[in-house]
Chain A
């Protein structure tokens, strides 16, 4: 069996998530997902952990400096041999660098010359085009201007939504050429992580709305409780 067919059974046993932002919950629990992922070879399991570790910000210490995040990304890339997975990690870290630059500019700061602040091919380009709304990267990241507007209006929820949507779309694009290989497994897990995040936001929003409705329904009686 070739590498292209290495995980036919695993992929077939994984339910596809509903479309992003429409899903009420992830297609399967993390516990069940981890159980299914036990069929990965030790090397592939390590690769998956590296990719997830490099992209999951919740695994970073809260006081992590930009330099630490960049070093972490570089370390992960150095240990990932697979070119497709390297591209996925690099893409996501580049997107984060662009957003970090937008945030920095919205705070009125200039490009942090001489200090490590970003990752990937566009760092120098962004520094040179700091004053342009989309850093003259409209061809590569056409959504940067929209993200810039959202940051300026402090609409964190819409920005998060936009970024997750872009990350999901990029994964979908790569998924088209990988059906049953390790790349397909990693892409599934990364998509699962994105869906999991959006459904948690939905749960929080639903709880807030429920509380607001309860309060308005109870009216003045709320003081009784």
Chain B
């Protein structure tokens, strides 16, 4: 039982990084495809499409920071806390990555037809980023209460 708890503790430490990476990969994949499609149809401004498609990459960075914050000696006392905070933060990051990729793809698709809405079309992606930042910041805050911090 103790070994299972310790294993879950390690899962919790690595989960934000792994799930954040998956979210960023899928998100960048979706938005990257949209930017390639838009390049086929437009005559210029390719750089901004490629730049936009990198938006979802922030979630892996948040995941790395959470992973380092949670990283400590795993004991039976703190394994549950590490698992809960790490896994849920990771799930939030993966969803934010995928959905930000979709919103960026929609923004690219719309802005290629109507360049004047380029800035405004990014608002949904910025809102999704905001939710990702909430998950990130409060994972850091809550991890302060888990035993054995600051390795």
Interchain CA distance A5-B40 in the complex, whole Å:
18
Contacts of A14 in B (CB 8 A): 37, 41
Max chain B Cβ within 10 angstroms of own Cβ: one of A8, A12, A13: A12
Cβ contact within 8 Å between B41 and A13: yes
Cβ-defined partner of B38 (8 Å) among A12, A179, A180: A12
CA distance in complex: A36, B36 (Å): 13
Cβ-defined contact, A8 with B34, below 8 A: yes
User: Whole-angstrom distance between the alpha carbons of A12 and B53 in the complex?
Assistant: 13
Query: Which residues in chain A, 179-200, are within 8 Å of chain B measured between CB atoms?
Result: 179-180
Whether B66 sits at the interface, judged by CB under 8 Å, is: no
Q: Is B108 an interface residue (CB 8 A)?
A: yes
Does chain A have a CB within 8 A of B109?
Answer: yes
Q: How far, in angstroms, from A13 to B34 measured CA to CA in the complex? A: 8
Main secondary structure of the interface of B (DSSP, over half): helix
Asked if A12 contacts B30 (CB within 8 A), the reply is: no
User: CB-nearest residue of chain B relative to A4?
Assistant: B102
* Residues of A with C-beta under 8 A to B109: 11-12, 179
* Size bracket of the B interface: 10 to 19
Q: Which of B29-43 contact A (CB under 8 A)?
A: 29-30, 33-38, 40-41
Which chain A residue lies CB-closest to B37? A12
Q: Is the CB of B106 closer than 8 A to any CB of chain A?
A: yes
Q: Is the CB of A5 within 8 A of B30?
A: yes
Would you give the 0/1 interface string for A1-35, flagging 1 where the beta carbon is closer than 8 Å to chain B? 10011001111111110000000000000000000
**Measured between alpha carbons, how far is A198 from B112 in the docked complex, in Å?**
25
Considering only CB atoms and an 8 Å cut-off, how many residues of chain A contact the other chain? 15
Kindly name the residue among B35, B37, B108 whose own CB sees the greatest number of chain A CB atoms within 10 A: B37
B113 touches A15 (CB 8 A): yes
Q: Are B36 and A12 in contact (CB under 8 A)?
A: yes
Is the CB of B105 closer than 8 A to any CB of chain A?
yes
Contact of B33 among A9, A15, A16 (CB under 8 A): A9
Q: Which residues of A contact B34 (CB under 8 A)?
A: 8-9, 11-12, 180
Contact pick for B102, options A5, A12, A13, A16, CB 8 Å: A5
Contacts of A16 in B (CB 8 A): 113
Contact with A along B20-52 (1 / 0, CB 8 A): 000000100110011111101100000000000
- Give Cα A11 to B38, complex, Å: 9
CB–CB A12/B33 < 8 A: yes
Contact indicator A12/B29 (Cβ below 8 Å)? no
| Cβ-defined contact, A12 with B26, below 8 A | no
Shortest beta-carbon distance from B109 to chain A in Å: 5
A14 to B35, CA, bound (A): 12
Partner of A11, one of B26, B29, B37: B37
Q: Once the chains bind, are B36 and A1 in contact (CB under 8 Å)?
A: no
**Chain A residues, CB < 8 A from B40:** 12-13, 36
Q: Nearest Cβ distance between residue A41 and chain B, in whole angstroms?
A: 15
- Taking Cβ atoms with an 8 Å cutoff, the residues of A that contact B are 1, 4-5, 8-16, 36, 179-180
12 additional A-B residue pairs with CB within 8 Å, beyond A5-B102, A8-B34, A12-B34: A1-B26, A5-B30, A5-B33, A5-B101, A11-B34, A12-B33, A12-B105, A12-B112, A13-B41, A16-B113, A179-B102, A179-B106
16 example contacts (A-B, Cβ-Cβ < 8 A) are as follows A5-B101, A5-B102, A8-B30, A8-B105, A9-B37, A11-B34, A11-B37, A12-B35, A12-B40, A12-B105, A12-B108, A12-B109, A13-B37, A14-B37, A179-B109, A180-B105
The 8 closest A-B pairs by CB, nearest first: A12-B37, A13-B37, A9-B33, A9-B37, A8-B33, A13-B40, A12-B34, A12-B38
